[in-house]
Structure formats: structure tokens, C-alpha cells
Amino acid sequence: MSLARHGAPSDTVYSMITDELDLDGRPNLNLASFVNTYLDPNARSLLTSNLAKNLADNDEYPALLSFSTRCVSILANLWNASPSQTAVGSPTVGSSEAIHLAGLSLKRRWQARMKSQGKNIHDPGPNIIMGSNAQVALLKFARYFEVEARVLPVSEKSNFCLDPEAVRENVDENTIGVFVILGSTYTGHYEPVERVCEVLDEVEREKGWGVDVHVDAASGGFVAPFAYAGAGQKWNFELPRVKSINVSGHKYGLVTPGIGWIVWRDEKYLPEELIFELHYLGGTEKSYTLNFSRPGAQVVVQYYNLIHLGFGGYREIMENCLANARVLSRALEQTGWYKCVSDIHRPVNNNNNNNISNVAGKIKSAVEGAINEGQEEKETSAGYTPGLPVVSFRFADEFKREFPHIKQEDVSLLLRARQWIIPNYALPPSENHTEILRVVIRESMSFDLLDRLVTDIIQVTEQLIDHDEVDLSIIRKQSRQRHPNRKKDREEKQQGKDQKKESVKEKVEDGAKRLERGIHRSVC
């Protein structure tokens, strides 16, 4: 495809492109993604009118810059940055950029420490610890910045999250830090930040290695502070070991794609040699980003959301999302066909892992209950296991015994025909015999829509029960015929020929367990 010799009138091109874009899915029915898709008309209007503004051009757009400073400040406060320290932060394009920046500062601090102790920084070289449920950006950081990724296996016992005891076993003096994820993308569980910090404290006492923590709160950073359930533990700058936190503004920050945030608890954790200064018309700008010129409109909308919704508004929305997620979880479990792997609908008492937070949770709910007295009794998330508004579910064991020929993938496929996008994928490597279906409840998932979803899931499952194996194999075959198109994808061209043959072979053998080969599932 080459650039046309002559152009075409703007309205013609507009219609052509719009028509073509109709083939894209409907953002609202995409339950696979955390990325926000709804904007109120005013937010949309702000976004449009600031479309041409370049966030990097601070001299030209000072108001834009002041909004970004305010957002950073608001987030730092929201995450309990200590007033005695000077928190610094920056807007990013998304959490990926934020994670690269956080990781790089961890690496530089480690290098400086090792150099000051006269130790070798190349052999054996730095490493970083994360759970195998980590999002691809975390692994990318390790690969691109040449840090060994110590990806620790997760288990059912650790809620498919980072296991603090495994951290203890894997940490050494070359560990630049630990990535802890607030809100695993697989099951929505919060990783035990507080416990990990305790373990690292013990390690420091015993061996003298001070290992810092970066909290990847891409999704949870805008959920945990607002939900009555909190995070069930300390997770933010309250913990001295947490040196930086990132969040995606375009997830539960309720902005459209293209905005993330990173905050360091104090300026001293941001090594000076990473900052570049730009002189411009007599003033100076310092910059620590991987991107330079980039749109600034998302920052405006983030600020709009923060002041328009306020703490109360965000709380209402997050509570609604969590309540809807509980409704869906209960509905699914009540069918007897499904079992939820996520825990947000389970009262906190039944959960072994969160004993510490029980008391706090109870007190909190009692207090909140008293405040809400007189108003209509409304159930909050306070009594439930904290987590992201995510429902991960799988076939119940009895169901599997009874209908061994039904594959979970079929549910995903048939729902796709009804416009719902609900991905089915294997849990992280050590647990990848379990496949889960995952629904992300976003702001725009109303109760009414949820009702339709539950009906559709039940109908689809009934349909599967009614059909025998032969019919089902036809469905699968049809879905596979979609794949030839995908082979054209740009990325496959990038892979060597051999690699390609291999991947085709894999596809036939088993569609699910490819994570070991560096294929990452679950998009966020």
C-alpha cells in the first residue's frame, strides 16, 4: 500500500474511514479491558478542544502544565505521601512508561549503591523480582534495560499473586527492587504489599540488603483508596519501603487511553543523572520521560475528573463497580456451573489470607454504617475481600465431571457471537492448567447491562450442555478459520520463519499453554 498520488475531498475520506471503523468492536461490550471507554459530554468537549496541545511544550501551555502538577500533587496526597518529604511525579503515556521510569530509577540507585561499596555491577548483574502474574510491561522493562527478571511462580495459596515467602528466598544483594502489583490482572487480587515489605525488612535486618518496592497500581491505584474495603492492608507511601507508585489514568482514573501517572515518595529516589534539563526562553524545564511531544488533553480530563467527581464521586463509582461485580459473581456461582477464582464477593472472614485486616475492616464498616444511618441501607464493599472489580471464573469441578467435552473456550466464542468480549485464558505458568474467563466491571457496566450479560452467559452454557461433542467441534473449527487472517498481522512478519512454523504448530496442539515461550496473555 502506497501513498496515493492524488488526495480526496475531506468529507469523502471522513465517511470512508468512519465506515471502515464501524468494523471495530463496541468499546462498551468489551469486558476484557480495563481501559475506560466512557466520557461525559463535558469531558469529551475538553478533550477535543485541547487536542492540538503538546504536553512537552511547557512554555506555550502553562495552564496545561499546572494541571499536571496539581494531578501529581492530588495523587501523592491520595496515596499518603508524607508531608515531611517532597514527593515528585510525572504524567506518562500509560503505566508502561511509568514502570520503565520506576524500574530505571531502581536500577540507577542500585548501581550507585554498589559502586559506592566498590562492588561489581556487571557480574552477576542486577535482578528484579515480580510474580509470574506480572503484566508484560514489567518483563519488558527487565529485557530492555538489561535486568534479570526473577519471575516467581504463583499458586492458588498465594491467590495467584506474588508470594512473600518466595520473595525472601529469591532476594539477594543484586536485587534492585520488587515490583508488587496492586490488582493482579488475572484475578483482581491485591498483592500483599505490606507483607512483602515486612519480609524485606526482615531480610535487611538479617543480611543488610535494603531492597525497595515499586507498587504497580495501574488498576488498583484508583480503586483501593476509594473503596470501603480499601486494600485490606497498607500498600501506599505509608510503608516506608514503597518508593514509587504508578497508576493508569485511563483505567479506573476514568480518562480515555493515553494517560498514566508515576509518583516517587521523595525527590532523592529519583537519581539526578536521569533528569534532563531543557532551557527555553530563559526558563528551565526538567524532564524524565521516555516520550517527549505528546498530547496533553488527557491531563486536562484527568484533572476534570478529579475535581468534578471528588473523593465522594470516585467512591460512588468504585463502590458501584464492586457491587456489580459481586452481583455477577454470586449469579455465576449460583448456577452451580461456575466457580469464581476472584474473591471480591466473599465476605472477608472466610478468607485466610486477610486475617490481619479483618478487625480494621469491621471497625471501618461499623463506622461507615453509623454515618450512613438514616439513609437507605446500602451494602458497601467493607465486609468483603478487597480487590479490583474483576470477576474471574471457571467451570465448577462437578460441571467438568459431568460434561467433560465442553471447553471453556466455547463459552467465550459463543458470547462473542452475542457481541460480548470475554477472554478465556490460562493462569500464569505454574498454574496454567487452570483456564479462566475474566470479566472486568468498568464504570459503564450498568446493572441493566449486567442482567443481560448474566442471561447470555446462562443461555450460552445451556446451549453448550444441550449440544453433543460433534456440534461443538464444528464451532471450534469455525473459530479457527479466523486465524489465517491474523497471520497477516505485522508482528508475525517480524518473527523468523522457524518461529512461525513453531507457533502454527503450537496453535494446533494446544491453544492455551504458551506462556512459557514468552507469549503473554491478558491485556489490561
Binding to another protein in span 413-442, by CB under 8 A: 421, 423, 425
Cell of 396: 465448577
C-alpha to C-alpha distance for 190 and 384, rounded to whole angstroms: 13
Of 153, 135, 15, 205, the residue nearest 388 (C-alpha): 135
Q: Is 475 in the site for another protein (CB under 8 A)?
A: no
Selected from 112, 207, 240, 274, the binder of another protein by CB under 8 A is 274
Q: Is 450 in the site for another protein (CB under 8 A)?
A: no
Of 152-160, 166-174, 192-200, 476-484, the window that binds another protein (rule: CB under 8 A) is 476-484
Residue showing cell 471502515: 20
Of 268, 265, 246, the residue nearest 100 (C-alpha): 246
Of 273, 218, 497, 226, the residue nearest 381 (C-alpha): 226
CA distances from 261 to 193, 217, 315 (A): 19, 10, 20
Q: How many residues bind another protein (CB under 8 A)?
A: 157
Toward another protein, which CB reaches closer, 205 or 488? 488
Shortest distance (Å) from residue 245 CB to another protein: 16
Toward another protein, which CB reaches closer, 157 or 286? 286
Q: Is 10 in the site for another protein (CB under 8 A)?
A: yes
Selected from 118, 208, 279, 466, the binder of another protein by CB under 8 A is 279
Shortest distance (Å) from residue 390 CB to another protein: 16
Pairing, β 283-287 against β 88-92 = unpaired
Toward another protein, which CB reaches closer, 401 or 433? 433
Q: Is 411 in the site for another protein (CB under 8 A)?
A: no
Toward another protein, which CB reaches closer, 61 or 384? 61
Residues numbered 481-500 forming contacts with another protein, rule: CB under 8 A: 482-483, 486, 489-497, 499-500
CA distances from 384 to 6, 158, 185, 347, 458 (A): 62, 18, 19, 4, 25
Of 31-39, 159-167, 197-205, 452-460, the window that binds another protein (rule: CB under 8 A) is 31-39
Residues numbered 236-265 forming contacts with another protein, rule: CB under 8 A: 248, 250, 256-258
* Count of CB atoms situated within 10 Å of the CB of 75: 26
Shortest distance (Å) from residue 303 CB to another protein: 7
Q: Is 474 in the site for another protein (CB under 8 A)?
A: no
C-alpha to C-alpha distance for 521 and 362, rounded to whole angstroms: 36
Q: Is 112 in the site for another protein (CB under 8 A)?
A: no
Toward another protein, which CB reaches closer, 277 or 397? 277
Cell of 288: 524524565
Of 10-18, 177-185, 239-247, 398-406, the window that binds another protein (rule: CB under 8 A) is 10-18
Q: What is the dihedral of CA 264, 268, 269, 273, to 10 degrees?
A: 110
Toward another protein, which CB reaches closer, 359 or 370? 370
Residues numbered 85-104 forming contacts with another protein, rule: CB under 8 A: 86, 88, 92-97, 100, 104
Selected from 113, 114, 136, 360, the binder of another protein by CB under 8 A is 136
Paired residues of 263 in beta bridges:
89, 245
Contacts of residue 354, Cβ cutoff 8 Å, sequence gap at least 6: 232, 233, 348, 385, 386
Of 203-211, 288-296, 449-457, 459-467, the window that binds another protein (rule: CB under 8 A) is 288-296
Residues numbered 504-523 forming contacts with another protein, rule: CB under 8 A: 511, 514, 517-523
Shortest distance (Å) from residue 59 CB to another protein: 5
Long-range CB pairs of 154-160 (<8 Å, 24+ gap) are 154/427, 154/428, 154/430, 154/431, 155/430, 155/431, 156/431, 158/131, 159/184, 159/187, 159/189, 159/343, 159/353, 160/133, 160/184, 160/186, 160/187, 160/189, 160/341, 160/427, 160/428, 160/431
Toward another protein, which CB reaches closer, 187 or 248? 248
Contacts of residue 389, Cβ cutoff 8 Å, sequence gap at least 6: 188, 223, 318, 321, 322, 324, 325, 344, 440, 441, 442
Q: Is 393 in the site for another protein (CB under 8 A)?
A: no
Q: Is 63 in the site for another protein (CB under 8 A)?
A: yes
Toward another protein, which CB reaches closer, 138 or 199? 138
Selected from 296, 383, 386, 387, the binder of another protein by CB under 8 A is 296
C-alpha to C-alpha distance for 27 and 441, rounded to whole angstroms: 13
DSSP 8-state class, residue 349:
G
Q: Is 313 in the site for another protein (CB under 8 A)?
A: yes
Toward another protein, which CB reaches closer, 345 or 438? 438
Write the secondary structure of 441-457 as one string of H (helix), E (strand) and C (coil): CCCCCCHHHHHHHHHHH
Cell of 166: 518466595
